[in-house]
Amino acid sequence: MNIDFTGKTVIITGGGKGVGLGITRCFLASGATVVICSRSELESLPEVNGNRAHFVAADVRDVEQVNRVVDHVQTTFGRLDVLVNNAGGAPHADAATASPRFSEKIIALNLLAPLNFAQAANRVMQQQADGGVIINIASVSGERPSPGTAAYGAAKAGLLNLTKSLAVEWAPKVRVTAVTCGMIRTEQAHLHYGDDAGIAAVEATVPLNRLANPEDIGNACLFLASPLAAYVSGGSLLVHGGGEKPAFLDAGNAQH
């Protein structure tokens, strides 16, 4: 099924690598004008079928820089149809010893930055006849315990609630949704899951027997941003391969 975003403008935060790159490629393939926003300059801009992404450097935690990105997109392209709040993440940290400054930075990146970016995008979208769509990239870490990344899990839980609230406040012009992601195989998967054998062992715990690839998340975003999801707002689409089998099933001696 082809979803056509020709003539539409999309901002993807952190869209130059990892999950964000998969999302970028999906929107480029659909014909969208894609603007990637991140702190680091890209060695090369993603391109699909001759459709090349644009880049604006900005730290999404800085409200003034966020506003400049949105103003630039509106001035340059005349409209903003979709915002994908993808930038995020967190290194492993023991909750007992993590510094307050560390926790503040994690929450700023994973919760406050999406809120601030959504506010800036909403101001533009509310003025457009056909409104717009905001998609927040959430995580299963926001729905289950997140040991080693407690602040991140708390921020992602907040992001899911934020999605619901904004969907109510900004309707009917702007739809606000989320994609709740499970484990994803990116270029940094080895940092989380180890070598190929470790990744294979982790994949065996997923009902679909594999990790997601970035394009799986990108395709979910395409659906949520498209007219096919015209009545979807305030909810989250679970993209986790069936989730995680409850630990007690393997821990006990009962027959299953």
Q: Catalogue the active-site residues.
A: 152
Give dist(CA 53, CA 34) in Å, integer. Answer: 5
Name the phi and psi angles at 146, rounded to 5: -130, 65
CA dihedral sign, ordered 244, 247, 250, 252: negative
Give dist(CA 33, CA 213) in Å, integer. Answer: 23
Give dist(CA 156, CA 110) in Å, integer. Answer: 7
Name the phi and psi angles at 9, rounded to 5: -115, 130
Strands ordered across the beta sheet of 236-239: 54-57, 33-38, 9-13, 82-85, 132-139, 174-181, 236-239
Residue 123 · residue 134 · CB < 8 Å: no
Q: What b-and-e string marks burial along 93-107, b requiring 16 or more CB atoms within 10 Å of the CB? A: beeeebeeeebeebb
Taking each continuous run of H as one helix and of E as one strand, the counts in the chain are 9, 9
